[in-house]
Amino acid sequence: VSTSPLRIAMIGHAFMGAAHSHAWRTVGRVFELDRPIDLRLLCGRDPVATAASAARLGWAEHGTDWRQAVERDDIDVVDICTPVGSHADIAVAALAAGKHVLCEKPLGLDLAAAQRMATAAERAQAAGTLNLLGHNYRRVPALARLRDLVEGGELGTVRHLRIAYLQDWGADAEVPMSWRFRAADGGSGALADLGSHIVDLTHFLTGRRLTTVSALRRTFVTDRPDPDGGPRVPVDVDDAVWWTAELDGGAVASFEVSRVATGRRNGLELEIFGDRGSAAFDLQRLNELDVGGTADAAARRRVLVTEPTDPYLAAWWPPGHVLGWDHTFVHQARDFVAAIADGVPPSPGFADGLAIQQVLTAVGRSADTGRREVVG
C-alpha cells in the first residue's frame, strides 16, 4: 500500500469549493484511507480572492492558471468546482494529463459538452484514470441505505416513484437577475440545476434508466430587476418543470423541480413504491427514512439512520448523533479515494452524467412538442 499523499488540486473556491475543502480536510481524519490527503493547490480566477480562500480553507498553494495546474506532476486528483460552463475544458484537459477527476454536477453545459467529457473519461479510464460526478446525495446515509433496501428486494419490485426538488429562492419576482436566470450561463434553469440531481437519484435508487418522458415547463417570472439599476431583464430559463417517465423494466416515475416553491428552502423529497413496500425521504431530515409496506400495512417505520451498520456511519459517532449536509461530501471524497486505491471506477461517472443530460434534453424536447419523447 502506498503511503505517499494523494495530492489534490481544486479549481473553483465558492460555495462548492468550501464544501469540497471541508471534505478533503476531514476525510482522512474520520475514515481509514490508504494514503493521507494533501490539499495541495487551489485555483481561481481572481488572484487576491484565491489567495484568501486558500489560506482560509487550508490549501498549501494557490494559483490562477487551471491549465498549468492540471498538468503539474505533483497533482494526483483534479476537483472541479467551477460554474458548469467550464467543466468540459478543465475535465478533458485533466483527464488527458492523467489526473483522476471529480467534477461537480451537472456534467456539462449542453449535450455536446457532456458527450465530449464522457468520451474523454472513457478513454482515460481505459488507462486507469478515474472520473466521478459530484452527485453528493448518493452519499446521504439514508439514501445509500434506501438503495440497499431496493437492491435487496425489501420493497419488492419497484412499480412507481415520485421525486421532487423544490426550492423557494426564485419565488419573489423582485429577486434580481443573475447568471442562474440566463440560459447562456446556467443552462436550462431548474431543470439542469435540480433536475440533474433527481434523475441521478432515480438511476441510483432503482438501478433503472428513464426511457420516455412527458414534460411541462413554466417560467412564472418572465423578467427580473437589473441588479445594476437598468430596466427589467428578460428571463430565458425555466422556473419549474414537471415530467412523468417510463423506466426500463416497466416502472413509472414522476418528477418535479421548482425554484418558486414557496415554503421550501431546500426540499428534496422522494418516495418509492414497490410491490412489497415503500420508502420516503426528505433532505431536510436527512438522517431519517420513512418506510411502509404490506407486511405491516397500517404502520410506517420512521428509521433514524445513525447506526454503525448504516452506510458510512461506523466512522462517525454513536447512534442518535445525527449528521448534516456537509458530511455527504466527506463520504464522496472517501469513496473516490477508495476507488483510486482499488482501481475500480466509482459511480456516478461521466457516462452516467451523459445519460442524465440525455434525459434532461428529452424533457426539454417533450415540453416543446407536447409529446412523450424517447430518451437518447
Positions 43 through 82 that interact with a copy of itself (CB under 8 A):
56-58
Least separation in angstroms between residue 99's CB and a copy of itself is 24
Least separation in angstroms between residue 53's CB and a copy of itself is 10
C-alpha cell, 36: 493521507
Select 102 or 286, whichever has its Cβ closest to a copy of itself: 286
C-alpha cell, 315: 466512522
Q: Tell how strand 100-103 and strand 77-80 pair up.
A: parallel
- In this structure, are residues 230 and 176 in contact, taking their beta carbons and an 8 Å threshold? no
Select 72 or 372, whichever has its Cβ closest to a copy of itself: 372
CA 292 vs CA 77, 271, 374: distances in Å: 42, 10, 33
Select 29 or 123, whichever has its Cβ closest to a copy of itself: 29
Please give the size of the binding site for a copy of itself, defined by CB under 8 A.
89
Least separation in angstroms between residue 247's CB and a copy of itself is 11
| Residues within window 180-199 making contact with a copy of itself, judged by CB under 8 A | none
H or E element in which residue 63 lies: strand 61-63
Select 106 or 274, whichever has its Cβ closest to a copy of itself: 274
Q: Tell how strand 77-80 and strand 288-293 pair up.
A: unpaired
Residues paired with residue 176 on neighbouring β-strands, in sequence order: none
Residue 149, CB half-sphere, CA atoms under 13 Å: how many?
26
| Residue of 45, 72, 147, 159 that binds a copy of itself (CB under 8 A) | 159
C-alpha cell, 136: 453528493
- In this structure, are residues 323 and 287 in contact, taking their beta carbons and an 8 Å threshold? yes
Site membership for a copy of itself, residue 232 (CB under 8 A): no
Q: CA torsion sign, 225 to 227 to 12 to 33?
A: negative
Stretch that binds a copy of itself, among 24-32, 68-76, 112-120, 340-348 (CB under 8 A): 24-32
**Residues 27-61: b if buried by 16+ CB within 10 A, e if exposed:** bbeebebebebbbbbbbbeeeeebbebbeebebee
Residue 188, classed as helix, strand or coil, is: coil
Least separation in angstroms between residue 205's CB and a copy of itself is 16
Angle at 311 between CA 305 and CA 317, to 5 degrees: 65
Least separation in angstroms between residue 55's CB and a copy of itself is 9
| Residue of 167, 332, 357, 361 that binds a copy of itself (CB under 8 A) | 167
Select 226 or 317, whichever has its Cβ closest to a copy of itself: 317
| Residues within window 196-225 making contact with a copy of itself, judged by CB under 8 A | 212, 214-216, 218, 220
Select 114 or 164, whichever has its Cβ closest to a copy of itself: 164
Distance CA 205, CA 7 (A): 32
Site string for a copy of itself, 101-140 (x = CB under 8 A): ----------------------------------------
C-alpha cell, 308: 454503525
| Residues within window 316-345 making contact with a copy of itself, judged by CB under 8 A | 316-327
| Residue of 90, 132, 150, 164 that binds a copy of itself (CB under 8 A) | 164
Angle at 103 between CA 341 and CA 61, to 5 degrees: 80
Least separation in angstroms between residue 122's CB and a copy of itself is 33
Stretch that binds a copy of itself, among 83-91, 95-103, 118-126, 283-291 (CB under 8 A): 283-291
Site string for a copy of itself, 291-310 (x = CB under 8 A): xxxx-xxxxxxxxxxxx---
Angle at 280 between CA 170 and CA 351, to 5 degrees: 70
- In this structure, are residues 165 and 257 in contact, taking their beta carbons and an 8 Å threshold? yes
| Residues within window 240-279 making contact with a copy of itself, judged by CB under 8 A | 240, 242-244, 246, 250, 252, 254, 256, 258, 260-267, 273-279
- In this structure, are residues 216 and 269 in contact, taking their beta carbons and an 8 Å threshold? no
At 157, the amino acid letter reads T
Select 123 or 371, whichever has its Cβ closest to a copy of itself: 371
At 15, the amino acid letter reads F
